[in-house]
Structure 1
Amino acid sequence: MKKNVFQVMMLLMIALVSSTTISKAQMVIDKIDLGIFPSPEKGYKKMVIEVPYSESDKNKKIEFSVGKWMEVDGCNTFNLSGTLEKKDLQGWGYDYYVFKTNGNVASAMMSCPDKEKRNLFVSAQPETVRYNGRMPIVIYVPEAYDVQFKIYTTDGDTYRAAEVRTKK
């Protein structure tokens, strides 16, 4: 009797897992054709961030940074100068980004001759955008540069800021 109950329970678990897997596998998400975005200008390349769609897209953000790997000293912080311009893809209602830089790097000027040099991704100010599993993030960057990104997730809780009242 116990053996039969166990077998039935196992079959039910397998059926439940299988039906969940099949329903997720059959879900079709339309992605945007990257061919609608312009070709990169001379000296630039097109970088694309594509993330999977999820039911919790609204609880996520993407932070991306444009930069390049450089050998730097072992103690200072470094920032790439440059501008990130958000542009409208005319006629489509989508956005893309163009990063322009003269290559200048600012750093703290601490002396640290005893520290070993390190290889560091030196980037410009990061940009934070909505997570959207249906839309790619297209960024045009100079050929010598790269794009890195992070995904931030929240539990969806919303909080209210405190009001400061002045005494009258």
Structure 2
Amino acid sequence: MLQAEEDLLVISAQRGNHKAFNLLVLTYQKSLLRFAYKLCHDHELANDAVQDCWIKVSKNLYQLKDPRVFKSWLYRTLKWRVTDLLRTQLRDKNKCDNRLNKDFTGNNQETDFEHTSDVKSERSNAINRLPAIEKQMIHLFYLDEMKLAEISIILDIPVGTVKSRLNRARKLLQQKFDLS
């Protein structure tokens, strides 16, 4: 979708056009779900976060002054919603742990799939093993194809910091592939 088309849809949705808002939802739903899942690794939590994000966006869209920043605003809203849900989930888990007075670390019985011949799977595994910040950078830049400035707005950090984090993520990935 061209930026001008998106801007017109946002303006229309701000004026109460439900069809325009639905088109925005259709345009971004899949990428928002991917982004939310990359942040939390839980399909249910990702779905809840995206749904909550759209509710918040529908209620606050009229406050958006510049339709050109809609995408960044949308992703930032989702990022904060996922963070809130993860925080709540952790708090609930800690309450449960304290009540039962048990350690739920359990046995780590994950199967090691990193040595498959499928290159795509190896890349995906390497990305998933990155620290959260670097994983987020790779996801936003390469998978969601966002510009550095958009990532800067979403994460509320300077563009230079985005560049350095992206560079660090690339180096970490390169090291992981060199060691294989």
Higher relative contact order (CA 8 A, sep 6+): 1
More strand by share: 1
The TM-score normalised by the length of structure 1 is: 0.24
More helix by share: 2
Larger radius of gyration: 1
